[in-house]
Amino acid sequence: MQLNNFDTAAFLRDYWQKRPLLIRNPWQSWQNPLSPDELAGLACEDHVESRLITQSSDDWNAEHGPLPETRFGELGKSPWTLLVQAVDHHVTEVAALIPPFRFIPNWRIDDVMVSFASDGGGVGPHFDHYDVFLVQGLGQRRWQIGGMCDDRTALRSHEDLLLLAGFDVEEEWTLNPGDMLYVPPGIAHNGIAKGGDCMTYSIGFRSPSRKELIGSWCDDLLPQMTDDDRYGDPDLSVQDNPGEIPAAAIDRLHAMITEKLADRAAFARWFGEYSSTPRYPETDWRPEEAIETDHLRGLLTEDHPLFRNPASRFSFVREDEGKLLLFIDGECFPCAGETALLAEMLCAQEQFVINPEWRKSDAVVELLAELYNRGSLSFDWG
Ligand code: SIN
Ligand code: CO
């Protein structure tokens, strides 16, 4: 699925990670994929992450879900906003908003957050560390855009929301259903609902910080290391001042760290697993009954399409000689030959029918059965 009048190459060149862009309704025919009631229902569920932001004069208060159903009836006249994370994991129609953005790699895509706001509602002026496409689903929202912020930008003291202490509006637009606004990381923005029933879909991206990368990779490396792998100096010679840590010792100590961190192959494998780890690992997507390979082969022969679980993350890293490492939901599956071709298709398509040649391959059917039994593929989503 493609967006109308939207030149992806020009967008990546001129706007992606650079500056905001307003895109007037680029959809073939826009239909709001979720009703306000359905969104409120999700916010009451245990396994769904949600927040309710209520406003009084110019202050914002945040409550974390799951919310009691009665909470919505208690809301008064002052503006409020409900935010629900990862709605694409639960609602196929919302997951269907993502394919037009697949010109950006799978590992960079995070989730679709959906908001509902009453008249005047919003989360206040803020900035995010991530790129986002803000798609107006229902009603109208006035978006104000400010300047570039960073971790030194002054914030209002608030325990939950990163609200800006000062906000100078540089540009503003009113978005109607189907319109969308791209906001790069760090750009101050503020969305205010105009009239009631304002729904916004945020297609959000991820970009790891250096701090997160180093910390998380080291967490993974440490348990694999042993206490007997130590600094050694059998070549020690007498030095003038015993207080000096000689350059040669620093070099050797530093190399103990950099050699480990320079292992690109180990890093690639770890990063594939890390970046494909499910965001909500406590949700169990496994089928009630595990499937046997023969049964699966039969279903594939009848051309039943298989669907990727919208909550699963699929990516791969290419290796030598047609081999690759497939990463799904935090697991690594080394693939070669037909399974490598299958892996490429799995990463490129949300749904597929397995061709007659591949069905004959035990390795293909076994990999598909494993992915089915782990809850990463199913015949039902779609
Ligand atoms: C919203 O949908 O109200 C907020 C989205 C955002 O500013 O990131
Ligand atoms: Co934002």
Q: How far is the CA of 19 from the CAs of 11, 228, 240, 322, 338, in angstroms?
A: 10, 51, 58, 38, 42
In this prediction, residues 235-242 reach a mean pLDDT of: 97
Q: Is ligand 1 within 6 A of the CB of residue 202? A: yes
- pTM comes to 0.94
Give 117 Cα–ligand 1 centroid separation in angstroms. Answer: 10
Q: Which atom of ligand 1 is nearest to the CA of 114?
A: 2
Q: How far apart are CA 225 and CA 308, in angstroms?
A: 36
What stretches of the chain show up as alpha helix (H) in DSSP?
8-14, 36-43, 92-95, 210-221, 247-261, 264-275, 293-301, 338-348, 356-359, 362-373
Q: Minimum-distance ligand to the CA of 129?
A: 2
Question: What is the per-residue pLDDT for 57?
Answer: 82
For CA atoms 245, 249, 251, 254, the dihedral sign is negative
Question: What is the per-residue pLDDT for 158?
Answer: 73
Q: Which atom of ligand 1 is nearest to the CA of 189?
A: 7
Q: What is the pLDDT of residues 41-85, one digit of tens each?
A: 999 999 999 999 999 887 889 999 999 999 998 998 899 999 999
Helix (H, G, I), strand (E, B) or coil at 215: helix
pLDDT(159) > 80: no
Q: Is ligand 1 within 6 A of the CB of residue 115? A: yes
In this prediction, residues 355-377 reach a mean pLDDT of: 96
In this prediction, residues 253-258 reach a mean pLDDT of: 98
For CA atoms 346, 348, 349, 354, the dihedral sign is negative
Q: What is the pLDDT of residues 98-131, one digit of tens each?
A: 999 999 999 999 999 999 999 999 999 999 999 9
Give 15 Cα–ligand 1 centroid separation in angstroms. Answer: 19
Give 139 Cα–ligand 1 centroid separation in angstroms. Answer: 14
Question: What is the per-residue pLDDT for 59?
Answer: 84
Question: What is the per-residue pLDDT for 58?
Answer: 77
Domain residue spans of the chain: 8-205, 293-378
Q: What is the pLDDT of residues 303-356, one digit of tens each?
A: 999 999 999 999 999 999 899 999 999 999 999 999 999 999 999 999 999 999
Fold held by 8-205: Jelly Rolls (2.60.120)
Query: Which residues, at least 6 apart from 102, have a Cβ–Cβ distance to it below 8 Å?
Result: 109
Q: Is ligand 1 within 6 A of the CB of residue 20? A: no
Q: Is ligand 1 within 6 A of the CB of residue 50? A: no
pLDDT(24) > 70: yes
Q: Which atom of ligand 1 is nearest to the CA of 122?
A: 3
Question: What is the per-residue pLDDT for 382?
Answer: 63
Question: What is the per-residue pLDDT for 289?
Answer: 95
Confirm if 34 and 48 have CB atoms less than 8 A apart. Answer: no
- Mean pLDDT computed over every residue of the chain: 95
In this prediction, residues 261-289 reach a mean pLDDT of: 96
Place 15 in a pLDDT band, splitting at 50, 70 and 90: very high
Of 50, 83, 181, 199, the one to substitute when testing ligand 1's pocket (max ligand atoms within 8 A of C-beta) is 83
Q: Is ligand 1 within 6 A of the CB of residue 81? A: yes
Q: Minimum-distance ligand to the CA of 186?
A: 2
**In the CATH hierarchy, which top-level class contains the domain 293-378?**
alpha beta
Q: How far apart are CA 80 and CA 73, in angstroms?
A: 12
Pairing state of beta strands 180-183 and 171-175?
A: unpaired
Place 157 in a pLDDT band, splitting at 50, 70 and 90: confident
Q: Which atom of ligand 1 is nearest to the CA of 81?
A: 3
Tokens representing residue 79 in the block = 């503006």
